[in-house]
Amino acid sequence: MDSSNNTKTPVTRTRKYVISRRLDRIFLELYQIYAFIARFFREVFFPPYEFKEIIKQCYEVGVRSLPLISITGFIIGIVFTNQSRPSLRDFGATSLLPALISVAIIRAIGPLVTAIIAAGRVGSGIGAEIGSMRVTEQIDAMEVSATNPYKFLVVSRVLATTFMIPALTMYTTLVSLLGGYLNIHQNELTTITTFFNQVFEAITFLDIIAASVKSVLFGFTIGMVGCYKGFYSSKGTEGVGKAANSSVVTAMFLLFVEELIVMQVINAIRAV
């Protein structure tokens, strides 16, 4: 009896040790994330300001994303209209298509689809770029040369995504509505004036505010996740690949969480 207890004791101690080490790593990671985000808010308000780098990153995030955003938004408008028409036709309510499209695209589809595309294109690019600079010791060289790598690399990219994702969201929404209009005009011969009158009658100021808030949060999240994953990447080229991949996966997960939270808050406001 005593011997069996003695044999189990080392195993139990080992398991407790492993669990303790995992918890330590989790809490250390959480603190590292908190410190990384808090440093952004300390750095962003104080000089030097990297205006040229911010403008360059805005071009990379915004202008270079336009072709993909345009095609995706246009297709979404057409597809959503085609998918919604049969259900409304069963109730004889095809005239409500413009209102349905505007509510769906402006409230949810526009901001979320834009952010997902940006997370895949921009987030992975940021993670890979900064990660390659980390593993090739370029960031260390910047620190030695009295340059603030966090200010130059992280602040500029997070500001660029925070500024440009809302602009891209507005553009995606407009293109999606245009795709929906062309589909409705082809089938119901609705004029563009009638279409956009019904679109704007169906939405409220709160819908626009909610979409804007979500877009800003999405942009900040994409930039911050990509920079964090790249800034703390390691293990050579393998680490760069993992940084790019984890930037996309983590950003997309957080986007859906933020979408859920903002939606619950907005619905609570509407119920008041």
Domain map of the chain by residue range?
1-43, 50-271
The pair of structure tokens assigned to 137 is 């010791």
- DSSP code at position 235: S
Q: What is the dihedral of CA 242, 228, 218, 256, to 10 degrees?
A: 50
Task: With beta carbons less than 8 A apart as the criterion, state whether 120 and 19 touch.
Answer: no
The crossing angle, in degrees rounded to 10, of helices 205-231 and 110-118 is 10
- pLDDT per residue rounded down to tens, the chain (272 residues): 444 455 557 767 677 767 777 777 888 888 888 999 999 999 888 888 889 999 999 999 999 999 999 999 999 999 999 988 888 888 888 888 889 999 999 988 999 999 999 999 999 999 999 988 888 888 888 878 877 889 989 999 999 999 999 999 999 999 999 999 999 998 888 889 999 999 989 898 999 999 999 999 999 999 999 999 988 887 777 788 888 888 999 999 999 999 999 999 998 988 87
Residue among 211, 223, 23 at smallest CA distance from 122: 223
**DSSP symbol at 65:** G
Residue 158: predicted pLDDT: 95
Q: Do residues 112 and 103 lie in contact, with contact meaning Cβ atoms separated by under 8 Å? A: no
pTM of the model as a whole: 0.88
Whole-angstrom CA distances from 112 to 33, 53, 130, 257 are 24, 27, 25, 11
- The reported pLDDT for the residue numbered 1 is 46
* CB contact set of 247 (below 8 Å; sequence gap of 6+): 119, 123, 124, 126, 127, 128, 225, 226, 229, 230
Would you state the pLDDT for residue 16? Answer: 72
Give the C-alpha separation, 181 to 173, whole Å: 12
What is the enclosing helix (H) or strand (E) of 155? Answer: none
Tokens of 175: 């293109």
For the record, the structure tokens of 50 come out as 């990297």
Q: Looking at this protein, which amino acid is placed at residue 44?
A: V
Buried b (16+ CB within 10 A) or exposed e, 208-238: eebbebbbbbbbbbbbbbbbbbbbbbeeeee
Angstrom distance (rounded) from CA 127 to CA 230: 4
- Name the amino acid, one letter, at 26: I
**What does the alpha-carbon distance between residue 177 and residue 102 come to, in Å, rounded to a whole number?**
7
